[in-house]
Structure 1
C-alpha cells in the first residue's frame, strides 16, 4: 500500500481496524428553544468591554447622521419642481440604501480605530507563548458530498499542525458525514482508514480520529452538529466547528481553546477565516478583497459588537454546554421557503447563545484560520440563493424574546444583505421611469386643485452629481482606509508592496463593479423566487474549478444580458447623457456572459498572477499548513476518480469490515423505518440478476440506502462475486 496517497486503503490489513471509528457515547440534552418565552439568565458575560455604548453611538449615530445629510441633499435634488410620486419613491429608496452603505462605512472607521489601538479581544496575543490546554476539545468536520481527498487533506494538515504544538492529546477529531452519494460515502470510509494508518506510526493519538455518517441528513448542517452534541457532547468542554474547506493552524486552535478555558462565561469565539487557494480570476479577486479589506471590517465588527458578536458557521470554537442548553433550533411555522428548518443557522445559534447569558466574541487578529471561496460568479450565485432563503427566514426570529440588541442588528443585516439588491433594482427602474416621463410626457399645467405652478418632474443636475460623488465616496472609503493602514504596516510586503497593492485594489474594484449589477439581478431573482415559494435546496459546493460550458453560461445569464440591452437602448433614446450616466450598470449587464465566463477561467487568474496583481501574503509566502494541505490534496487526488462503492467493498475485506461496523443498528431496519429509498432499493436489488443490472436500476439515494442495509449489502456483494 502507498501510505502517502492511501491507494488501496486497507488491502495490507485483513482484519478490522484496531480501534473503533466512534468513541463511547456521552449524551447531552439539547432542548429545542422556545422563541416566544424567555427567562432572564443570572449569568452575564464579564468580557463586555467598557464604553461599548460609545462605540455603538459612533457607528450607528455616525451612519444615521450621514444618512440624514444625504437624504436632505437628495430631497433638494428631486424637489426642484415639487416632489412627484415617483420622485418620492426614489427618495425613500435612496435613504434606505444610503443608510446601508453608510453603516458599513462607519463600521470600517471603528475597525481603523481598533487596528490603530492594537485591540485584542479576550486578551488573545498571537505573539505570546502558547498557553496550556487542560480540557478536552472536539474538532468537528461536517461534510456533504464533498471530494473526500480534498476534505481529508485539509484535515490531516490541520491535525499535524495541532500535534506539533504538543497539546494534541487534548483534542479529538470527528468527521461528520451527511453524504448522500454512495460512492463518495464509501470513499470517505476508505479515506478515514487510510488517514489513520498514515498517521498512526507518528502520532499514537491518531486512533482518536473518528468518523460517523448519518443515514438521513435531518436539518442539514445544524442537525449534523446537533446530533453529535446529543450523542457525544457530554465528554467535551468545547468544540471547534470546521467546514469542508477549512484549514487551521495548531497555534490558532490551541489559543482558541485556552481562551475558552480562561473565560468561563464565554460561549463562542469566532475567528476571521482568510480566503486562500483561489486560482480563477474571480476567486483571486475575492481572495484579495478579503485579505485587504476583510481585517478592517472584521475589526470594526468586533470593536462595536463586544460580547454580542456573531457566528459564521465554521472556524469557531463553541462551549458545548452553552450550545446544548441554548442553541436547539426550532422549526419555523409555515411552509418552505419561510417555514421549516432554519437554513442560516449560525446567526440564530449565536443570538440564542447570547440570549442565554453567554458572551459571543470575534477575534479577527488571530492568524491561522483559512477557507476557500467560490471559484466563479456562478458558484457565488448558487451559494447565495441558499443563503438568501436562510437570511430571509431571520424575519421570523427577529421578534423572539430576550435577544440582545446587537443580535437583532445581526439578523437585520442578514436580511438587508439580500433585500438591498431588489431595492437597488427598483431604484434604477424608477429613476429610469422618471427620465422617460420627463422626456416623453408633457407636464400637467392645469392639475386638479388650486395651484400656481405646473406639475412635472424636475431635478437639480449639479447637486445630483455631488450626491452621486458623495455616495461613491462612502461606498469606496472602507477600501481606501484599509489600503492606507496597509501602507503603514509590514503586511504590505505580502501584497507585493504599496504600488502592487494599489493596482490590485483598482483591478478588484473594477471586477466587483462589473459584477455588482449582475449580482443585483441574480439576487433580486432569488428573492422573488423565495417570495413565490421556491425552495433553494441544498447543493454541494464546487471548491476549485469554476468553468462551465459556454452554452450553460449563455443560458444562465440571458436575463441579465437582455435587461442590459433594454436599459442601454432606453437610456440612449431618452438622452445620450443618461446613457453615459448609466454606463457602469449597462456594461456589467450587457457583458454578463463574458464576465462570468472569463473570470471563471484559471488561465485569466494565472495571467494576473504573473503580472503580480491580486497577490496576497498567503500566496506570496504560504503558511506551512496550507502548503501541506495542497500537497496532500494533489497526492490523494492522483489516485484517480472515486471508485464504485460495491466493487470497492467486495475487493477490500478491511474496508468492508469497517463499513459493516459503522452501520447504525448493525444494518438492521429499525422498527418503524419505512423509508421509500430503502424499500424500493431492496426490491430492485432482489430482482436483479447481475450487479450491473442492479446498479443501473438504483438511484444514488436508493443505492446508499441499500448499502446501509445488512441484507441489501449482502445481496449486492453476492452479485459482485457471482
Structure 2
C-alpha cells in the first residue's frame, strides 16, 4: 500500500444533527417539485381510487364485516406499492422518449480518483481480470494518470487470500513500475464491506479527491469511469454520483430472465427514480463515484443499539451512507443514461434467495434509521421503499389468507339474522363479481405497465429492437419473462415472507459470500428448500377447488407457481435452458448480441487467469513450494500488536502446536482447521516453521 494519508471519519449520531455543521452548497439547486407532485400525487389518487373500488366490491351487501375491512386495508397497502412504481415508470418513460445523449468525453481531469474493489472470498481469476480490463480501457482514454487501483480484501478463507496475493503480485509485475496497483488484506473484517471501505478512506483517502467503488462482479468502461470523474469535478456540491449497472454475461435461465428485465425495463424505473429524486438520490453500493472527504466527514456508520438482526453494525450500508451524505449538504445523484456500467447476477432462484435474506435484514434494519435526525424527506422515502419491498410479501400473503377466509365464510357460514344491533337485513360477506373482475384487471395493468413501457421504448429504438432479435422476438421474450416472473413470484413471496418472520424472531443472517458462476444447485438441496412451498401449493389448490371453482381459478397463478416450485427452481439454474433460448434469439439483450469490448477482454483475461490455477491452489502448499512468494506474503503482513499477557489466541496456539508437531507439509495441511490456517497465514514465525517442513511423507 502507499503511505497512509489519513482522513478523520467520525462516527455519526442518529439522534441529533446540527445543520450548520454540514456542507454549504456552492450553487443554488432547484428541487424537482413538479416531478414529485406527479409521482406521489398521482400514486395517491390512484391508490384512493383503487381503495374505493375495493370498498365497493366488498360492501355490496349494504354492510361490511371486520374481516372485509382487514382485506380492504391489506389491498390498499399493496396497491399503493404498485401504484407508486407505476407513476414513477410513467415519468421515466416520458423522459426516455427524448433519448438523452451522453456528453462528449472530457479531455482532461484535474482530480485524482481511487478505483477500489472490495473482495470477500471471491473468484480471483475473475476479479483481477475485470480490474485489468478496466485499467486498459481507462488508459486508452488518455486520462489514466488520474486513477490508482486498490484491491481491498476482507477474505476469510486462506486459499482465497493467497490467491489474491498471487494475482496481485503477477499483475503488478506486468504493469511495471507505474502500476499504481495496491492490495490490502484486513485480518478482521470488522463491519464487513462498510468497514472495508471505511478503513481505506480513513487511512488512505486523503490522497484522493474521489473513489470509484466497485463490487467483485463490477465492470465499467473507461469512458464511463472518466465521465463519472468529470461529472464529480463539474459539480462541487456532489457527494455521490451513481451509474445504472446493466447485467451481462449471464447464461442460466433465471439469470437471463433477470438480464433481459434489467435491460428492457430497468432504465424506465431507474430514470423515473432519478428524476423525482433529483439531488436527493440513492446509492446502491457499487459502480458509483464518491467524494472522499464528504464521505469521511458524513458517513462514519454507528453501531445500532441491541443485537442483530435489528441491532449491531449496519448491514445495508449504502442507503444509509446516501442519506447521511445528503444530510450533510452534499448531493446524491444518478446518471441512468450513462452507458458502460455493468454487473452480474446470481445464477439461480436459490442463489438470489440467499442474497435476498441478507438484503431483507438490512432493509428492515432501516426501520431503526428512518427517523434519524436531519434526514431529507426523500431519503426517508428511499428507506420506506426499501422496507416496503420486503414487507410487501407478508402483506400479499396475508391478503391471500384473508381472501380465502372470506370465501370460506361466504360459502359455509350461515348469516346471523338476529344480531345484537338492530337491522332489517343480515350482514354477511358478499362480493360484487363484476367490480372485482374490473379491479383485478386494473391491478394487473398497473403491475405490468412498467414492463410494457420498457417494451415500447425498446420497440421504437431501432438498434435495440434489432439487437434483441426484431420486434417479434422482443415481444415473445417479454411474454416469456412475464410468464416466468409470474410463476416465480409466489415462490419469492413465501421465501421473503419467511425471511421477514425469521428477522422478526431475532435470527441473524450473517454475511455469506455470493455464488456468481453459472451452474445448477444439487437436486437434493432444491427439494429441501422448496418442499414446503410445493406442499402448501397442493393443499391450497385442493382446498380452493373444494370451496369454490371461482376461488381456484382466481388463485390459479399462485397455486401453479407453488406446486411447480421444485421444477421451477431446478430449471432456473440450468445452463442448457438458458442457452437454448439464446440459440432461438429469445431473451436477448443488445449487450449479449454485441458484447462490449471490455466484457470480451475481461472474459479472455479471466480464462487466462483460470488456466494458471489461481483459484485452485492450496494456500499452504503454494507458500511452501515457492519461497519467494512466501517471503512476499510475509512482507505484506502488518506488524502485529504485542499480545497482552494472559490473553491467548486459541487458533494461533493450536496452529503452532500442530505445525511444531508435524513432520511434513501434508500432516500440517491435514491437521489445521480453516481458522487455524488463517492464524498461521497471519504469523511470520509460523510461516517460517511451515517452510521448513518436509514436502512429502517419508
Within the candidate set 250, 255, 279, 1:307 is matched to 279
CA contact (8 A) 1:32 1:329 kept: yes
| More displaced 10-residue stretch of structure 1: 639-648 or 282-291 | 639-648
Contact in 2 for aligned 1:668/1:710 (Cα 8 Å): no
Give the drift of 1:414: 0.8
Q: Determine the structure 2 residue equivalent to 1:558.
A: 531
Rounded to whole Å, the distance in 2 between the matches of 1:251 and 1:606 is 31
**Contact residue 26 and residue 236 of structure 2 kept, 8 A:** no
Other-structure match for 1:644: 618
Aligned to 1:635: 608
CA contact (8 A) 2:488 2:568 kept: yes
- SS state of the match for residue 375, structure 1? coil
Tell me the distance in 1 between the aligned counterparts of 2:600 and 2:27.
36
Aligned-partner Cα distance in 2 for 1:680–1:330 = 35
**Aligned pair in 2 of structure 1 residues 668, 349: CA closer, same or farther (>3 Å)?**
closer
Counterpart mapping for 1:547-696 below 5 A = 547-640=520-613, 641-665=615-639, 671=644, 674-696=648-670
Residue number among 182, 185, 192 corresponding to 2:161 in the alignment: 185
Q: Given that residues 238 and 317 in structure 1 are in contact (C-alpha distance below 8 angstroms), is that contact kept between their aligned partners in structure 2?
A: yes
Partner of 1:18: none
User: In structure 2, which of residues 106, 124, 148 is the aligned counterpart of residue 172 of structure 1?
Assistant: 148
Q: What's the CA shift string for 1:372-392, capped at 9, x where partnerless?
A: 011000000000000000000
SS at match of 1:240: strand
Q: 1:224 to 1:577 in 2, by over 3 A?
A: same
Q: Deviations over 1:20-70 (max 9, x none)?
A: xx1111111100000111111463546776461111000000000000000
Shift in Å, 1:668: 6.5
Paired residues for 1:493-504 under 5 Å? 493-504=466-477
Match of 1:63 in 2: 43
Q: How does 1:433-444 map to 2 (within 5 A)?
A: 433-444=405-416
Once residues 329 and 648 of structure 2 are traced to their aligned partners in structure 1, the CA distance between those partners, rounded to angstroms, is: 42
Q: Could you tell me which residue of structure 1 aligns to residue 11 of structure 2? A: 32
State whether structure 2 residue 74 is matched by structure 1 residue 100: no
Deviating more after overlay: 682-691 vs 377-386: 682-691
CA contact (8 A) 1:650 1:720 kept: no
- Aligned partner (choices 32, 48, 73) of residue 52 of structure 1: 32
1:353-392 alignment, distance < 5 Å: 353-392=325-364
* Aligned equivalent of 1:477: 449
1:208-254 CA distance string (max 9 Å, x none): 11011001000000000000011100000000000000011111111
Q: Cα offset for 1:493?
A: 2.1
Aligned partners of 2:36 and 2:68: how far apart in 1? 33
Q: Distance in 2 between matches of 1:396 and 1:606?
A: 44
Counterpart pick for 1:248 among 220, 223, 230: 220
Show structure 2 runs of 5+ residues with no match: none
Q: Over aligned residues, Cα RMSD in angstroms? A: 1.6
Q: Give me the whole-angstrom Cα distance separating, in 2, the residues matched to 1:612 and 1:645.
A: 43
How many pairs does the alignment contain?
691
Checking the alignment, whether the CA contact within 8 Å between 1:268 and 1:361 is kept in structure 2 is yes
1:521 to 2:521 alignment: no
C-alpha contact 2:357 2:509 (8 A) present in aligned 1: yes
Q: Cα deviations across residues 123-156 of structure 1 (Å, max 9, x unaligned)? A: xx62413342111110000000011101111111
Question: Which residues in structure 2 correspond to 1:109-120 (within 5 Å)?
Answer: 109-118=90-99
**Structure 2 residue aligned with 1:142:** 118
Residue 337 (1) aligns with residue 309 (2) = yes
Q: What does residue 128 of structure 2 align with?
A: 152
Of 336, 358, 376 in structure 2, the residue corresponding to residue 404 of structure 1 is 376
Q: Residues 225-374 of structure 1 correspond to what in structure 2 (within 5 A)?
A: 225-374=197-346
SS of residue matched to 2:451: helix
* TM-score normalised by L of structure 1: 0.93
Partner of 2:692: helix, strand, or coil? helix
Question: Deviation at 1:675?
Answer: 4.0
Residue by residue over 1:488-529, the C-alpha shift from the partner in whole angstroms, topping out at 9 and shown as x without a partner, is 223222212222211111000111110000000000000111
Between 1:673-682 and 1:149-158, the stretch displaced more is 673-682
Aligned counterparts of 2:424 and 2:24: Cα–Cα separation in 1? 63
Local SS of the residue matching 2:19 = coil
Counterpart CA distance in 1 for 2:226 and 2:550 is 59
Q: Which runs of 5+ in 1 are unaligned?
A: 1-21, 120-124
User: How much does 1:112 deviate?
Assistant: 1.5
Q: Which moved more, 1:269-278 or 1:499-508?
A: 499-508
**SS at 1:270's partner residue?**
strand
1:706 alignment partner in structure 2? 680
CA offsets, 1:72-124, max 9 Å, x none? 000000112221111111100000000000000000011012213445xxxxx
SS in 2 for 1:650: helix
Contact 1:275–1:373 (8 Å) recurs in 2: yes
Does structure 1 residue 224 correspond to structure 2 residue 180? no
Cα distance per residue 1:431-480 (max 9 Å; x no partner): 01111111122121222222222121101011000000000000011111
C-alpha separation in 2, matches of 1:569 and 1:553: 24
- Kindly indicate whether the alpha-carbon contact (under 8 Å) linking 1:184 and 1:642 is maintained by their aligned counterparts in 2: no
Q: Deviations over 1:632-660 (max 9, x none)?
A: 11222123452111111122233212201
Alpha-carbon distance in 1 for matches of 2:126, 2:139: 20
Inter-partner Cα distance in structure 2 for 1:250 and 1:100: 38
Equivalent position of 2:431 in the other structure? 459
SS of the equivalent of 2:546 reads: helix
Distance 1:630 1:529 in 2: 39
Report the secondary structure of 1:557's partner residue: helix
Moved more, 474-483 or 338-347: 474-483
Instruction: Quickly say closer, same or farther: Cα 1:69–1:47, change in 2 above 3 A.
Output: farther
Q: State the secondary structure of the residue aligned to 1:176.
A: strand
